[in-house]
Amino acid sequence: MFDTGATGFMLLSSSLVMLMTPALALFYGGLATKRNILGIMIQSFVSLGWTTVLWFIFGYSLCFSGNIASHSDFFGILGNLDKAFFHGITLNTAFSGNPNIPEFVFISFQMMFAIITPALITGAFVNRVSFRAYFIFLTLWQILVYYPFCHMVWGGGILASIGILDFAGGIVVHVTAGFAALASVLFVGKRVDKDSTANSIPLVAIGSGLLWFGWYGFNAGSELSVNALTAHAFLITDLAASFATITWLFIDIIRSKRPKIVGVLTGSIAGLAAITPGAGFIPMWAGPIVGIVAGIGCYIAVEFKNRHGIDDALDVWGVHGVGGVIGVIMLALLASTSINANGANGLFFGGGLFFIKEVLTIIGTAIYAFIFTYVILWVINKFIPVRVSEQVELKGLDAAILGENAYDEGVL
């Protein structure tokens, strides 16, 4: 009944995207100070577990049940609860978007996106937010920010109905998480402890490499099938990441007269984030352009953040938020129906209206994610202090909240 090749590939892609969350824990854990490694890592792993629970209960249904065309969703913003607890889905239920794969496979693939998106935000407020507040934030943010955009763009909601495109998450994942990170930093405030020395650059490198590896499932898997466009998305992902990596390297060499490994690793993530929305819609020759623009644009954003004292500890806004914005703009400029007949033509190919719609969407997404994130934190803070005390921050979240240490202090 089902295509074993497509089904197997999508299960592999789901596994690759799942791997990205532990990889993110390594990436963020290495960048954090040695007193906050476990505090940032547990936030990623809790998202891995709790988001899955929410996805089973109602998350998948709110994202992918109903649509605006049949008036069966909530005003094109959220789906309904018809598929809560995976109700009505059996071993033989085919995914409507590709009948060659079971719906269970699509559920798994999309669940991994829902897991990593809020985990991205945590790098912004490392060592400042209590675990209880984070857990509540994780829950509310999924429901009020991620689920609506997932449904509106990918689930047959209002944005999909007007032709908005986002191949693998530039809008749904990176813009929402990036501007949520900016809001959270402005709400929580600056760190008391000014020592932000990364505890383990090798750990950052391992996490970065695994993120790059997992991103092939992220982008190529978003074709939801195995064909030439799948290979196109795979290769253009590597091109953009590589060009962004080398662009960041050259900027570092020009500015500081030496190469920097953290810069190289950060540049790769910027390129990966930027190519996400257009991987299956833009020509192969545009991949290097996206990478170069992302490398320059995200570098400038990080410098802007540093110059203005915005304490986004691990540059979530500068890399993911700005990278996502750059990627959607490049999609709006360079998309071509010669690459994907189900896509659209960007501004360079005569699609002026499509360009305007995409740009307005990223503006609206950024504003929505920022405001709702700030409000969620404000409400939580009325009941539970979001920020830890100065004493806890100086002691470190690992020992103060978890009662654990990443390293033997007598050795290091």
| Separation CA 279–CA 276 (nearest Å) | 6
Tell me the residue type at 119. A
Contact, 263 vs 254, CB < 8 A? no
Pair of tokens at residue 310: 């915005």
Q: Is 373 helix (H, G, I), strand (E, B) or coil?
A: helix
CATH number 1.10.443.10 is the correct assignment for the domain at 4-402: no
What is the model's pLDDT at position 187? Answer: 97
**Which residues are CB-contacts of 122 (< 8 A; sequence separation ≥ 6)?**
28, 40, 43, 44, 134
Taking phi first (over 0 means left), then psi (-120 to 50 degrees means alpha), and beta for anything else, what does residue 144 get?
Answer: alpha
Please choose, from the candidates 296, 185, 170, the residue with its C-alpha nearest in 3D space to the C-alpha of residue 233.
170
Average pLDDT of the chain, as a whole number: 96
- Indicate if the pLDDT at residue 412 is higher than 60: no
What is the model's pLDDT at position 410? Answer: 55
| Separation CA 97–CA 154 (nearest Å) | 11
Largest CA distance in the chain: 65
Contact, 298 vs 306, CB < 8 A? no
- CA distances (Å), 262 to each of 27, 198, 213, 244, 253, in order? 10, 10, 18, 13, 13
Taking phi first (over 0 means left), then psi (-120 to 50 degrees means alpha), and beta for anything else, what does residue 57 get?
Answer: alpha
Angle at 242 between CA 299 and CA 246, to 5 degrees: 50
Angle at 220 between CA 216 and CA 222, to 5 degrees: 120
pLDDT in tens, 217-276: 999 999 999 999 999 999 999 999 999 999 999 999 999 999 999 999 999 999 999 999
Pair of tokens at residue 160: 């999909």
Contact, 79 vs 155, CB < 8 A? yes
- Indicate if the pLDDT at residue 409 is higher than 70: no
% of the chain with per-residue pLDDT over 90: 96
pLDDT in tens, 202-213: 999 999 999 999
- CA distances (Å), 73 to each of 57, 61, 64, 83, 304, in order? 17, 10, 9, 12, 41
pLDDT in tens, 173-183: 999 999 999 99
What is the model's pLDDT at position 95? Answer: 97
pLDDT level of residue 285 (50, 70, 90 thresholds) = very high
What is the torsion angle, in degrees rounded to the nearest 10, for the CA atoms of residue 86, residue 162, residue 274 and residue 332? Answer: 160
- CA distances (Å), 242 to each of 212, 213, 270, in order? 10, 13, 10
Taking phi first (over 0 means left), then psi (-120 to 50 degrees means alpha), and beta for anything else, what does residue 335 get?
Answer: beta
pLDDT level of residue 407 (50, 70, 90 thresholds) = confident
- Indicate if the pLDDT at residue 364 is higher than 80: yes
pLDDT in tens, 22-71: 999 999 999 999 999 999 999 999 999 999 999 999 999 999 999 999 99
pTM, whole model, 2 decimals?
0.96
Q: Is 99 helix (H, G, I), strand (E, B) or coil?
A: strand
Pair of tokens at residue 42: 């547990």
In this structure, the number of other CB atoms found within 10 A of the CB of residue 71 comes to 9
What is the model's pLDDT at position 408? Answer: 76
Residue identified by tokens 């990596």 is 245
| Separation CA 153–CA 237 (nearest Å) | 21
Bridge partners for 95 per DSSP: 98
What is the model's pLDDT at position 222? Answer: 97
Contact, 295 vs 270, CB < 8 A? yes
More confident residue, 245 or 1: 245
